[in-house]
Structure 1
Amino acid sequence: MSLINEIGRGTIAVEKAQIALTNPLRSSVVILIGVGCAIGVGEPLATLPLAFGALFVQMDDPGGPFSRRATVMLWASVWMALATLVGGLVSNDFATHFVIAIPIAFVCAYASAAGPRASLTGVLCLVCFSIFSGTPIELLDSFTNAELLLLGGLLQTLVTISPWPLRRANGIRSDFAIFFRGLAHACSTSNLEIISSSHATRLQLAIDDLAVYENDSKGELWFKRLADNGREVRFGLLGLAATRDEISNPTSRKIMDDLIYSVGDVFQSIALTLVWHWRHQRLLAARERLLIIEGKARARAQEIDPSLIDAVIVPLLALAETAAGPWPLGRASGIHFFDSRRKPLGPMLRAHWRRNDVFFLHAVRLTLSFLVAVSLAQLLDLPHSYWMPMTVAWISKPDLSGTTMRIVSRIFGTLLGVFLIGLAFSIFVPNDLGLALIIGFGGFVVLVFLFSNYALAVTGITIFALTLFELIGDPVNETIGMRIVSTVTAGVIVFIVALLIPNRSGSKVELVLSEMVNDLDNYSDKILRSIDDRNGELSSDRKNLLHQRDLAAAAITAATYEVGHHSMRPADATYLFNILNSATAWCVAAEIAHTSAIDIAAHNQISREVAELRARLLSIHNNEAHLDRGHSSKVDHPFHQLIRNAHLILDKDI
């Protein structure tokens, strides 16, 4: 029941930082125009490849520098057009279809070895192959379909990169906006969200985009100020959040809560301003409100450390000034039109060409699942034989946890989409214009939720696809039951194959947690002994700890959604991780405030218990006899209390 609950929560969870409306709205208008033009010239069959091309290529938009976006989207258009062509050519001969599907499915899946963007391109190509090799409606000829899909992709690409000559760095600003939106959401929820490792990941993705600038150009320096101050304020926020629960006075606690909430309001305003500069007035107003709360917090200096306030407020005000001030745009930005960085694909693909490699096994699993789906659809003589293999392409992931979540999200999203479109068509029968508007709306929903909630994105793609087929003469209400059955059947196929050839990403939870404890030991030892960062060792230990924290978070998430036995219950691993995360945040706060020195006896006791914690985790991972906790004397110290709580989790787990 716990696994079902966790999967259910994961299915409906929405990553609000990833939600943006501008690009999805623009892209859905392009889709709507393409569909409208095809209807206007009396060629409704042309809407299918045009609309899919425009939507799928936009889904493959990587963001960031325009040169990267143009390269990825253009190549995606070409590869998807080729997949469409091949799918159409083999659609009338099952034997040829089956044989050709083997290398296509394998190559599309193995593309994951080249990175997340190549993985998505591979999935979209396999989806195109599935659709145009199994659609029951008599479409245009294969070459025309491929050309129209390519045209839809090219139109979407041209519109997306149209601001490129203006050198406004829209994509890079949007990446930084995602980082600040994530921090804003965290400040309005809980300490666990504030100290989450996802913020560091988002910031690094934004920083990686800066190679498009000339060294020391105005644009690079402007974005580096955002990055440096963003890193500092995140660091300070870790410390501030760590001390919130230690405040006993209700009035002071309320002021601390208001301070963190006001910080989040400024983050949200910075994110808005980075997208729309005219929103800087909102940012200025949020800054003034923050300064009022800051004054109240400083008046409580005995309970709210001023150094922790400074660690947040100083870089945050610098961020506000940078975002609200003039932007280095156009010729003054120093931006290159082309990003010369290119990772060669050959070495990446060859590095994973091993039978036990995660991506090689993913290609084997997807190929096997795809062939079973193609064969079953043919055997059952399904009128929409493309739906089952298409679903297999969408939901197969390299690891068991990712596949499980995709299956559940796909079924839930499909059911919701089918229900909504079936309800709408049972109430009224829209004309061609109404169908075009629904298609555009479906595309909008897909693009809004693509990276924030997969189930809702599936709802959008279901509305999009079913309405498209309604437009070309395939009545939706007559095939709803078949589509639901095909979706569930595809999920069963993929899940069975994933269990037969499993890749359990969550199998090393205890090991990565023990490594996190080891890095925490190194970092906390220097903090508790009040060693400064003169030689950079403290910063290095902190960096190592935060990196290991990211690995632990990923492993626990995977274990949470994986069926089967776990040496350590995922729920307990999550509790333990949260405690270690809080201990990390406490160390950060102590580093900022310089208030951590303790006597030698207490330090030795804490160090001993941290070492015992790591040893106990390793014994669980190695399936050895569980180690009992040694004798522990009480040390009146917040860090020691956290370590004791961590031991209590292991006492419960064993």
Structure 2
Amino acid sequence: MSLINEIGRGTIAVEKAQIALTNPLRSSVVILIGVGCAIGVGEPLATLPLAIGALFVQMDDPGGPFSRRATVMLWASVWMALATLVGGLVSNDFATHFVIAIPIAFVCAYASAAGPRASLTGVLCLVCFSIFSGTPIELLDSFTNAELLLLGGLLQTLVTISPWPLRRANGIRSDFAIFFRGLAHACSTSNLEIISSSHATRLQLAIDDLAVYENDSKGELWFKRLADNGREVRFGLLGLAATRDEISNPTSRKIMDDLIYSVGDVFQSIALTLVWHWRHQRLLAARERLLIIEGKARARAQEIDPSLIDAVIVPLLALAETAAGPWPLGRASGIHFFDSRRKPLGPMLRAHWRRNDVFFLHAVRLTLSFLVAVSLAQLLDLPHSYWMPMTVAWISKPDLSGTTMRIVSRIFGTLLGVFLIGLAFSIFVPNDLGLALIIGFGGFVVLVFLFSNYALAVTGITIFALTLFELIGDPVNETIGMRIVSTVTAGVIVFIVALLIPNRSGSKVELVLSEMVNDLDNYSDKILRSIDDRNGELSSDRKNLLHQRDLAAAAITAATYEVGHHSMRPADATYLFNILNSATAWCVAAEIAHTSAIDIAAHNQISREVAELRARLLSIHNNEAHLDRGHSSKVDHPFHQLIRNAHLILNKDI
């Protein structure tokens, strides 16, 4: 039941930092205009390729510099148009369809080796091939469909990059806004969210996009101030959160909670200001509220360390000033119109051309699943034979955990979308304009939740697809049952193939946790001995620890959603990870406050128990005889208590 519960929680979890409304609203208007124009000229069949092109190309928008967005979206338009053309040409001959599907499915899946964006492009191309090779409605000819899909993609691309000449760096500002929204959400929830590794990942994505600037240009220096202060405030917040649970006085604890909440309010205001500069008045008001709470916190210096307050407030105020002040963007920003960075695809693709490689195996699994779905749809003579292979294309992922989550999310989202459309159409029968509005709404839902909750994104794509086919003459109420059955069947096919050729990315949980403990040992050893960072060793150890923490978090997430036996129960691995995360945060707080020195005997005791913890994890990973924990005297130290709690988790798990 725990696996089912975890999958259920993962299905409904929403990553709020990824939710933005501006781009989805603009893109849905483009979809609506395209559909409206096709209806207006009396060509309702043209709405299918136009709307699909406009939606799918926007889904492939990578964000960041406009040059990269234009390149990715234009190439995506071309590849999807070609997939549409080929799908239409083979639609009337099953034998040809089956043979051509083999290389197309394999190539589209193997594109994952070139990165996440190429992976999404491959999926969308395979979906286009599925739709136009198995649609029961008599559509326009194959070349016209491909041209219209290309037109829809080009229109969406042009609208997306229309602010490019202004050189206001909309995409990079949005990247930073996502980072600050994530911190804002964390401050309003729990310490576990604050010390999550996802914040560092989001910040690094924003930093990676700064290469479109000239060296030391005004725009680059402005963004670097955002990045540097963002890194500092995240580091300080990590330390501040670590001490919150140590405050026993209720009044002081309330002030600490208010302080962290006010910090989150400033983060949220910074995110809004980076998207819309006219919202800077809200940021200034949030800053004033923060200063009031800061004064109350400093009055409790005996319980709330002033150095920890400084580590957050100083860079946060600098961030507020940078975001609310004049932006050195525009013509004088030093932004290149074209980003010269290009990673050659050949070496990346060749590096994974091995039979045991994760992406090669993913291509094999998807190809096999796709062919089974195509054959089964043909054998059962399904009127909408595209739905089952299309679903296979959507839900197949390189690892078992990702595939499991996609299957459940796809089924849940499809059921919800079908229910909403069925309910709406049972209450009223919309005219063509009403259908166009529903199509635009479906596209809006897809784009809002695409990276924050896949199940809700599927709900949007279901609304979009069913209404689109209703518009071109395929009644929704007559096909709802078939679509649900096809979705579930596709999920079963993909799951069986994933079990037959598995890739369990969560199988090394104990190993990555042991490496995290090792890096924690190196970092904490210097903290407990009060070694300064004169030679940069402390910073290096901290960086290694935080990187290993990211790997451990990914492995545990994968193990949580993978069926089968685990040497360590995923729930216990999560508890252990949270304890190690808290120990990491304590070390950060101690580094900031310079209050960590202990006597030699206590230090040696803690070091022995940390080393013992790593040895026990390795013994679990290697399926060796369980190492009993040796007897030790209790050291009255918060870091030692966390290590003892970690040992208790292993005692429970064995």
Shorter-chain TM-score: what band?
A: over 0.9
Match of 1:251, SS state, is helix
Q: Counterparts of 1:402 and 1:266 in 2: how far apart (Å)?
A: 34
CA shift digits 1:293-318 (9 cap, x unpaired): 00000000000000000000000000
Q: Counterparts of 2:382 and 2:150 in 1: how far apart (Å)?
A: 28
Q: Counterparts of 2:112 and 2:507 in 1: how far apart (Å)?
A: 21
> Offset of 1:632 from its aligned partner?
1.1
Equivalent residue, structure 2, for 1:180:
180
Match of 2:354, SS state, is coil
The 5 A counterparts of 1:120-519 are 120-519=120-519
Q: Counterparts of 2:424 and 2:246 in 1: how far apart (Å)?
A: 53
CA shift digits 1:463-513 (9 cap, x unpaired): 000000000000000000000000000000000000000000000000000
Is 1:72 the equivalent of 2:46? no
> Offset of 1:641 from its aligned partner?
0.1
Match of 2:507, SS state, is helix
Q: Counterparts of 1:130 and 1:565 in 2: how far apart (Å)?
A: 36
Q: Counterparts of 2:95 and 2:328 in 1: how far apart (Å)?
A: 59
Name stretches of at least 5 consecutive residues in structure 2 with no aligned partner.
Answer: none
> Offset of 1:259 from its aligned partner?
0.1
> Offset of 1:369 from its aligned partner?
0.0
- State the 4+ residue runs in structure 1 displaced beyond 2 angstroms: none
Q: Counterparts of 2:351 and 2:523 in 1: how far apart (Å)?
A: 34
Match of 1:338, SS state, is coil
CA shift digits 1:25-73 (9 cap, x unpaired): 0000000000000000000000000000000000000000000000000
> Offset of 1:140 from its aligned partner?
0.1
Decide which moves more: 202-211 or 322-331: 322-331
CA shift digits 1:83-113 (9 cap, x unpaired): 0000000000000000000000000000000
Q: Counterparts of 1:132 and 1:236 in 2: how far apart (Å)?
A: 53
> Offset of 1:398 from its aligned partner?
0.0
Q: Counterparts of 2:632 and 2:592 in 1: how far apart (Å)?
A: 29
Q: Counterparts of 1:485 and 1:74 in 2: how far apart (Å)?
A: 35
Q: Counterparts of 1:482 and 1:175 in 2: how far apart (Å)?
A: 41
Calculate the TM-score normalised by the size of structure 1: 1.00
> Offset of 1:395 from its aligned partner?
0.1
Match of 2:506, SS state, is helix
> Offset of 1:358 from its aligned partner?
0.0
Q: Counterparts of 2:515 and 2:329 in 1: how far apart (Å)?
A: 45
How many residue pairs align between the two structures?
654
Match of 1:506, SS state, is coil
Match of 1:245, SS state, is helix
Q: Counterparts of 1:333 and 1:622 in 2: how far apart (Å)?
A: 55
Q: Counterparts of 2:479 and 2:164 in 1: how far apart (Å)?
A: 44
> Offset of 1:653 from its aligned partner?
0.4
Match of 1:185, SS state, is helix
Q: Counterparts of 1:286 and 1:69 in 2: how far apart (Å)?
A: 33
> Offset of 1:330 from its aligned partner?
1.2
> Offset of 1:257 from its aligned partner?
0.1
CA shift digits 1:306-354 (9 cap, x unpaired): 0000000000000000000000121111100000000000000000000
Q: Counterparts of 1:647 and 1:632 in 2: how far apart (Å)?
A: 12
Q: Counterparts of 1:25 and 1:332 in 2: how far apart (Å)?
A: 30
Q: Counterparts of 2:536 and 2:312 in 1: how far apart (Å)?
A: 22
Q: Counterparts of 2:201 and 2:330 in 1: how far apart (Å)?
A: 29
> Offset of 1:631 from its aligned partner?
1.0
> Offset of 1:135 from its aligned partner?
0.0
Q: Counterparts of 2:184 and 2:45 in 1: how far apart (Å)?
A: 45
Q: Counterparts of 1:228 and 1:582 in 2: how far apart (Å)?
A: 24
Q: Counterparts of 2:528 and 2:295 in 1: how far apart (Å)?
A: 30
> Offset of 1:417 from its aligned partner?
0.1
> Offset of 1:442 from its aligned partner?
0.1
Q: Counterparts of 2:399 and 2:219 in 1: how far apart (Å)?
A: 40
> Offset of 1:237 from its aligned partner?
0.2
Match of 1:424, SS state, is helix
> Offset of 1:519 from its aligned partner?
0.0
Equivalent residue, structure 2, for 1:573:
573
Q: Counterparts of 1:202 and 1:72 in 2: how far apart (Å)?
A: 20
Q: Counterparts of 1:301 and 1:21 in 2: how far apart (Å)?
A: 42
Match of 1:474, SS state, is coil
> Offset of 1:151 from its aligned partner?
0.1
Q: Counterparts of 1:452 and 1:523 in 2: how far apart (Å)?
A: 34
Q: Counterparts of 1:290 and 1:332 in 2: how far apart (Å)?
A: 34
Q: Counterparts of 2:458 and 2:390 in 1: how far apart (Å)?
A: 13
Decide which moves more: 358-367 or 331-340: 331-340
Q: Counterparts of 1:72 and 1:103 in 2: how far apart (Å)?
A: 23
Equivalent residue, structure 2, for 1:110:
110
Q: Counterparts of 1:646 and 1:553 in 2: how far apart (Å)?
A: 16
Match of 1:630, SS state, is coil
CA shift digits 1:564-586 (9 cap, x unpaired): 00000000000000000000000
> Offset of 1:410 from its aligned partner?
0.1
> Offset of 1:216 from its aligned partner?
0.2
CA shift digits 1:341-389 (9 cap, x unpaired): 0000000000000000000000000000000000000000000000000
> Offset of 1:186 from its aligned partner?
0.0
Q: Counterparts of 2:488 and 2:15 in 1: how far apart (Å)?
A: 26
Q: Counterparts of 1:621 and 1:129 in 2: how far apart (Å)?
A: 43
CA shift digits 1:383-412 (9 cap, x unpaired): 000000000000000000000000000000
The percentage of aligned residue pairs carrying the same residue is 100
Decide which moves more: 604-613 or 323-332: 323-332
Q: Counterparts of 1:334 and 1:92 in 2: how far apart (Å)?
A: 54
CA shift digits 1:196-230 (9 cap, x unpaired): 00000000000000000000000000000000000
Q: Counterparts of 2:511 and 2:329 in 1: how far apart (Å)?
A: 48
CA shift digits 1:105-127 (9 cap, x unpaired): 00000000000000000000000
Q: Counterparts of 1:23 and 1:498 in 2: how far apart (Å)?
A: 35
Q: Counterparts of 1:582 and 1:374 in 2: how far apart (Å)?
A: 50
Calculate the TM-score normalised by the size of structure 2: 1.00
Match of 1:196, SS state, is coil
Q: Counterparts of 1:383 and 1:511 in 2: how far apart (Å)?
A: 50
Q: Counterparts of 2:403 and 2:294 in 1: how far apart (Å)?
A: 46
